[in-house]
Structure 1
Amino acid sequence: MSQHVRVRDLLEERAAAMRTGDADRIVADYLPDAVTFTLAPPLKHTAPEVTDPEAMRAWFASFAGGLEYEMRDLEVVVDGGLAFCHSLNRMSAVPQGATEAFTLWFRSTVCLRHVDGVWRIAHEHTSTPFYMDGNFGAALDLEP
C-alpha cells in the first residue's frame, strides 16, 4: 500500500471516529508535541490538551446525540517522511440545550510526519473564512 493511501486512510478513519464520537481514536493520531489551531478558542492548542481523550469526550458531550461529519475534496501530498493534506469539511450537530442543529463547512489542513513506521499528525489547522465587509462575521453560510 502506498504512503499516499495510508495517509488518506488515516484521515478517513478520523472522519469516521468523529461520526461515532471515538475520542480515543482521534487523539491517538497526534504526536506528543502536536499543535492545533481549531475553530474553538484559544488561538493555539498544545499537549496535554491535544492528546487528552477526556477533552475530546467533553466536546462530544456538548452535543445532544451524535454529530454528522463529512470530508470533501481531500488532497494528499507525500514527500518522504512528511505529508500535507487539505480538505473542506462539514459538521452538523445539535448543541446541548438547543432545539435545532447547526451546520457549517470549514477548511482543514493537516501536516503529518512518518515516525517509527506510522503516520502521525504534527499540526492541524481548521478555519472558517470571515466577511471582509466591515461586519467581520464568520462566513458560516458558505458551501462548496
Structure 2
Amino acid sequence: MQTPTAEEMEIRKGLDDLVQALRAKDIEALMAHYAADTVVFDIRPPLRIESADAYRKNFEAWFASVDGPIDYEVRELLVTVRDDVAFCHSLCHVKSKRTNGEKSDYWVRVTSGLRKMSDRWMITHEHISMPIDLRTMQAQPEFQS
C-alpha cells in the first residue's frame, strides 16, 4: 500500500469534515464542500441536480425528515489524485430515525469528482446509487459489502 500524498490527505480530511457536517445536519458546513456549479445524480429526485443551491434543497428536505442525528459510516474509501483533479468512491451505510418514527437503514455507493479551486478541493460532481434487483427493478438498499 502506498503512502498517501499530501493532496490525498487533504481530500480525506475534507471528506471527513463533510461527513461530520452531514451527521450533525449542519447544512452550511456541508454545502461548503460543493462547487457552485456541481452536478449531482442522487437517489432522490430529480434525475439530475445542476447546482449546489439545488442540491442544498435535497439535503434540507432529507434533514427535515430525520429526527436527530444521522449515523453515516464510510467504508472502502478510495481516493485518486492527479494535479488539480481527483475522484473518490466509497460504500456508505446510512441509519436514521425519521420524524414519522420509522427507522432508515440502507447502503449507498458514492462517487465524487473534485477539482482544486483557489487552493481548496471542491466537489464538482457526485453520483449516489443503490444496486437494483434486475428481475423486479426494485432498489436493494440492504446490500452490504
Same fold by TM-score greater than 0.5: yes
The match for 2:109 is 107
The match for 1:97 is 100
Residues 1-144 of structure 1 aligned to structure 2 (within 5 Å): 2-47=6-51, 48-50=53-55, 52=56, 56-98=59-101, 100-133=102-135, 135-144=136-145
1:59 offset after TM fit, Å? 2.3
Q: Distance in 1 between matches of 2:58 and 2:138?
A: 27
Q: Distance in 1 between matches of 2:93 and 2:31?
A: 20
TM-score, normalised by the number of residues in structure 1 = 0.91
Q: Distance in 2 between matches of 1:139 and 1:21?
A: 25
Q: State the 4+ residue runs in structure 1 displaced beyond 4 angstroms.
A: none
Percent identity over the alignment is 32
1:79 offset after TM fit, Å? 0.3
Q: Distance in 1 between matches of 2:105 and 2:63?
A: 15
TM-score, normalised by the number of residues in structure 2 = 0.90
* Matched residue count: 140
Q: Distance in 2 between matches of 1:112 and 1:91?
A: 22
AA at the equivalent of 1:125: H
AA at the equivalent of 2:139: A
Secondary structure of 1:65's aligned partner: coil
Q: Distance in 2 between matches of 1:55 and 1:41?
A: 8
AA at the equivalent of 2:30: I
AA at the equivalent of 2:142: D
Q: Distance in 2 between matches of 1:124 and 1:4?
A: 18
Task: Report if aligned partners of 2:44, 2:58 keep a CA contact under 8 Å in 1.
Answer: no
1:91 offset after TM fit, Å? 0.6
Gap regions ≥5 residues in structure 2: none
Secondary structure of 1:84's aligned partner: strand
